[in-house]
Amino acid sequence: MNVRKFIAATARDALRKVKETLGPDAIILSNRGIPGGVEIMAVAARDMEMMVATPERPTPVRRPEVSAHRPEPPAVAPALPEAARPPVVAASPPTRFAASPPNAPSSVPARSAALAQRPQASDEARPEAGSAGKAEADVVPAAVVDEIRALRRIVEHHLAGFAYGDQARAEPVKTEMLRQMLDAGFSPQFARELLAGLPRELEASSALAWVKGSADQCMLTISSDTDVVDRGGVYALVGPTGVGKTTTTAKLAARCVLRHGARKLALVTTDGYRIGAHEQLRIYGRILGVPVHLARDAHDLRATLNDLQHTHMVLIDTMGMSQRDRMVSEQVAMFAQADVKSLLLLSATSRGDTLDDVVRAYAGLRLAGCILTKVDEAAGLASSLDVIIRHRLRMFYVSNGQRVPEDLHLPNRSYLLHRAFKDLPDGSPHHLDGAEPGLLMASAGAWAASAGGRCG
């Protein structure tokens, strides 16, 4: 195996030398820092097959020389398919031959018979050697490839630390902004995209203001001029269990009654599965003086909405279910047939990957936007805002408590971004230190990979 050593000032330069010399499929065996640079040991991918033991091949039979006064042995016919090959007859001892050709020694017939039989024996032995080699190739390379992949992952993490160190020295402000965004809870993808256009000449304080301004431009929200309570329409509040759909429905209903009166509003619930599930909404309806209707299926919903077509606003409270529940697709189909707009409720206390899963599950609905709930219970808002921005969801309201209707507000972008970019204290166990931001970026994707466009 031809192992090559590459020395360069930085890990990036060393990797470029490896790629130029051994090709893009080169295998990194080791790397270490040396005075003045980095040393990488690598081997070409084609040389890795030398690590696998090659099965021994049978030694070819050397054909004996035939003197001029001896007749040539009969030519061996080409091998026939196994089905058409005649049965092999073992060679007889020399004493079995009754006579020998004229002017020829008696040993020639035996030698010719042996020569005629040897190729057949070799042909029969070849499939066995080939099958043994194939079986060995099926087992050994798999283990070797797994070890190489594990080694490559280790090397990539080490190189990510080197690359992060190079990036920190070349662009310290950008690196500090990346650390702050990852500490706050933003995803590596969004941080990569947002920081792609950060001007290099900015200082730390100016850079943070630039990052917040860019995030503000990416957020989609409604204003007091576009409040759905004033515009009216039919809206269904959907989302997983425990996000506060019924309470938020009551808050919106109270907001509408205060502005337009109880006669302009109707409430509908589709939660007919749980015992007494719609009683809470009926209690809110009696307090507000608003009728509450129950729709058990798509037919009931269409009939109910047809009776309420002249109502200024209709709010539909739905049953809470896991985003992985098969009934989510039934709910999506029911609202699609009834031509209902949906508002997706997202809890600010959930992880970013969980919120991504929720958005994908309800993507089939006509999502008019989202409502961010439990803001008062969340330690940070970076994960939830990250998901809302990346999926291009318009934020309609923010809910920060249980009071009806006081704890429902139009989104205040400055406040939300201030909460999102709030730095963690130094003693927090979630604080990234040293080269950990670079390792986190390496596990989520290559640090140097350029993103498409900002804000998804």
Lowest-pLDDT range of 19-33, 138-152, 221-235, 410-424:
138-152
Report the share of the chain in percent with pLDDT over 70.
65
Cβ–Cβ contacts within 10 Å for residue 132, how many? 12
Report the mean per-residue pLDDT for the chain.
74
Lowest-pLDDT range of 30-39, 378-387, 437-446:
437-446
Query: 220-221 and 313-317 as β-strands: parallel, antiparallel, unpaired?
Result: unpaired
Grade residue 116 by pLDDT with cuts at 50, 70 and 90.
very low
pLDDT in tens, 276-320: 557 788 888 899 999 999 887 788 888 888 899 889 999 988 877
Residue 78 lies in a domain: no
Classify residue 423 by its DSSP letter.
P
pLDDT score, position 81: 47
Classify residue 274 by its DSSP letter.
S
pLDDT score, position 136: 44
Residue 172: cis peptide before it, omega within 30 degrees of 0: no
Residue 122 lies in a domain: no
Three-class DSSP category at 98: coil
Residue 374 has pLDDT above 80, yes or no: yes
Range 47-62 average pLDDT: 53
Grade residue 91 by pLDDT with cuts at 50, 70 and 90.
very low
Grade residue 129 by pLDDT with cuts at 50, 70 and 90.
very low
Of 202, 157, 154, 156, residue with least CA distance to 175 = 202
| Residue 290 contacts residue 265 (beta carbons within 8 Å) | yes
Lowest-pLDDT range of 17-21, 119-123, 409-413:
119-123
The type of residue at 124 is: E
Q: Are residues 230 and 252 located together in one domain of the fold?
A: yes
Q: Are residues 319 and 337 located together in one domain of the fold?
A: yes
Q: Are residues 239 and 199 located together in one domain of the fold?
A: no
Q: Are residues 43 and 150 located together in one domain of the fold?
A: yes
pLDDT score, position 137: 43
| Residue 239 contacts residue 345 (beta carbons within 8 Å) | yes
Tokens 């080694």: give the residue. Answer: 151
Q: Are residues 425 and 293 located together in one domain of the fold?
A: no
pLDDT score, position 255: 92
CA distance linking residue 186 with residue 183, whole number of Å: 8
Query: For position 302, which CATH number holds?
Result: 3.40.50.300
Of 341, 348, 358, 355, residue with least CA distance to 398 = 348
The type of residue at 395 is: M
Residue 278 lies in a domain: yes
CA distance linking residue 72 with residue 63, whole number of Å: 12
Residue 410 has pLDDT above 90, yes or no: yes
Q: Are residues 325 and 237 located together in one domain of the fold?
A: yes
Better pLDDT: 144 or 76: 144
Residue 41 lies in a domain: yes
Q: Are residues 275 and 418 located together in one domain of the fold?
A: no
Residue 455 lies in a domain: no
Residue 129 lies in a domain: no
Q: Are residues 237 and 381 located together in one domain of the fold?
A: yes
Residue 211 has pLDDT above 50, yes or no: yes
Q: Are residues 247 and 362 located together in one domain of the fold?
A: yes
Query: 233-238 and 27-34 as β-strands: parallel, antiparallel, unpaired?
Result: unpaired
pLDDT score, position 271: 73
CA distance linking residue 306 with residue 180, whole number of Å: 52
pLDDT score, position 370: 94
| Residue 234 contacts residue 266 (beta carbons within 8 Å) | no
Grade residue 96 by pLDDT with cuts at 50, 70 and 90.
very low
Three-state SS letters, 348-403: CCCCHHHHHHHHHHCCCCCEEEEEEECHHHCCCCHHHHHHHHHCCCEEEEEECCCC
Most confident of 1-10, 322-331, 375-384: 375-384
Of 347, 418, 422, 423, residue with least CA distance to 388 = 347
Residue 130 lies in a domain: no
CA distance linking residue 129 with residue 124, whole number of Å: 10
pLDDT score, position 427: 61
The structural domain count of the chain equals 3
Residue 452 has pLDDT above 50, yes or no: no
Residue 256 domain boundaries = 220-410
Q: Are residues 148 and 175 located together in one domain of the fold?
A: no
Residue 452 lies in a domain: no
Q: Are residues 297 and 326 located together in one domain of the fold?
A: yes
The DSSP annotation for 3-49 comes to EEEEEESSHHHHHHHHHHHH-TTPEEEEEEEETTEEEEEEE-GGGGG
| Helix spans in 66-220 (H) | 107-170, 172-184, 188-195, 204-218
pLDDT score, position 121: 42
Of 192, 137, 179, 194, residue with least CA distance to 426 = 179
pLDDT score, position 162: 52
Better pLDDT: 379 or 326: 379
Q: Work out the angle between the directed axes of helices 382-390 and 204-218 (0-180°, nearest 10).
A: 50
pLDDT score, position 276: 58
Q: Are residues 273 and 294 located together in one domain of the fold?
A: yes
